[in-house]
Amino acid sequence: MQKVAQSWLVYQISGDARLLGWDAFLGEIPIFLFTMVGGAIADRNDRRRVLIGSQVVQMSSAATLAILYAFGVLEIWHILCLSFTNGLAQAFGGPAYQAIVPALVQQKDLSNAVALNSIQFNLARVIGPLIGGYALVHLGAVWCFGLNAMSFLVVIAALLLVQIPSVANCQNISIAESVKQGISFIRTRAGLLPLIWLSFTMTVFGMSFIVFLPAFAKEVLGAGEEAFTSLMAVSGVGSILGALTVAAVGRNGREIPMMLGGLVALGLSLAAFAYSSTFALAAVFIFTASVALMALFTLVTSLVQLRTSNEMRGRVMGIYNIAFRGGMPIGSLVMGQAIGMAGVSPVLCGAGLILVCMGFLYIGFRHIFLSGEPETAV
């Protein structure tokens, strides 16, 4: 919900698509820089406490945006600084959160748990834009920020109630040594490194249609915030369907072909979306792109989790977050600058065609994903 208001507000205040890229960059670059440290801390401390601290910081950032906007003093630099603060909190909370999920289910249910976790996240992406769009149009952005701040109280209360098994920590070694152990684990565990490279590819080029939706809605469709929020909702529905598909299929031994096919489907859908001249066509292609993106994300995440032992999970997921979340600021910044020079449609289409080429390249070398059997110690 906050993302809807924040993205539209940045574009409304500045009228510059490049600042959308900078906003996304500053929100994600802390994850790229600090998430390995966050993963090491998650393996050394109570993961629940680390996650609660992250939620408190994000709640404070949302409340600050609401207050600044309510008093009419909100400026672009405020939004950019608070985006960086949110990203910093997520750099420490993300690995702890992803390390907690497998501790709550049995190994045979891990793929389904990851898929269901993706569903709840994307259900929020559907409900959030609907509520956020209504609040933005009828009440103003302050309600989007304020309601988001209050929502963190529910999350914090749930974390205080849930019972999470403890994990053997590694406080007898330095954080630097702990990080080195995580990197070594990824380099030596079969199939992990290619999965992390794949996640980087899909986020650098595959998340662009979400970041630049405000510019697409205005410049390509000639529409306003209602079209923007509607497309966000359609994307959320597609994401839920993608995660549900993976959850329904479960572990069937065909995860690798499904994953690589999803990368090609994502690229083709994004290329078609880029030149959609009507809202109906844009909705169709953003839906199919979102189905492919979330199915791909769910498959990659579950395979990484299955090949990771519990005592290494925070560090491995921290490095995975560098690839998955760290690819977003790089893609957002580069593509934002390219859009400023060439326009929205050519750049989004180019990103889609790159994904198609990368998909076929990965398919040609799919054996690198198949080395070793997935295993985990949950």
Nearest to 36 by CA among 171, 141, 205, 181: 181
The proportion of the chain whose per-residue pLDDT surpasses 70, expressed as a percent, equals: 84
Note the pLDDT of residue 369. Answer: 65
Instruction: Kindly report the pTM of this predicted structure.
Output: 0.69
Residue 378 pLDDT class (50, 70, 90 cuts): very low
Q: Lowest-confidence range among 48-52, 133-137, 164-168, 313-317?
A: 164-168
Average pLDDT over residues 102-128: 66
Nearest to 38 by CA among 82, 89, 86, 101: 89
- Give the start-to-end residue ranges of the domains of the chain: 2-370
Note the pLDDT of residue 375. Answer: 46
Average pLDDT over residues 310-330: 78
**Cα 22 to Cα 78, 201, 214, 333, distances in angstroms:** 13, 20, 14, 6
Q: Report helix, strand or coil for 377.
A: strand
Q: Report helix, strand or coil for 13.
A: helix
**Cα 133 to Cα 5, 111, 311, distances in angstroms:** 8, 33, 42
Average pLDDT over residues 154-158: 89
| Residue 309 DSSP label | B
Determine contact, residues 49/243, Cβ cutoff 8 Å: no
The string of pLDDT tens digits covering residues 328-341 is 778 877 888 888 88
Q: Report helix, strand or coil for 253.
A: coil
Within its chain, how far is the Cα of 334 from the centroid?
Answer: 18
Note the pLDDT of residue 258. Answer: 81
Buried b (16+ CB within 10 A) or exposed e, 156-186: eeebeeeeeeebebbeeeebeebbebbeebb
Highest mean pLDDT among 149-158, 240-249, 314-323: 149-158
Average pLDDT over residues 14-43: 82
Nearest to 28 by CA among 101, 98, 89: 89
> Domain 2-370 belongs to what topology?
Growth Hormone; Chain: A; (1.20.1250)
Nearest to 147 by CA among 130, 123, 161, 122: 130
Q: Report helix, strand or coil for 325.
A: helix
Note the pLDDT of residue 377. Answer: 42
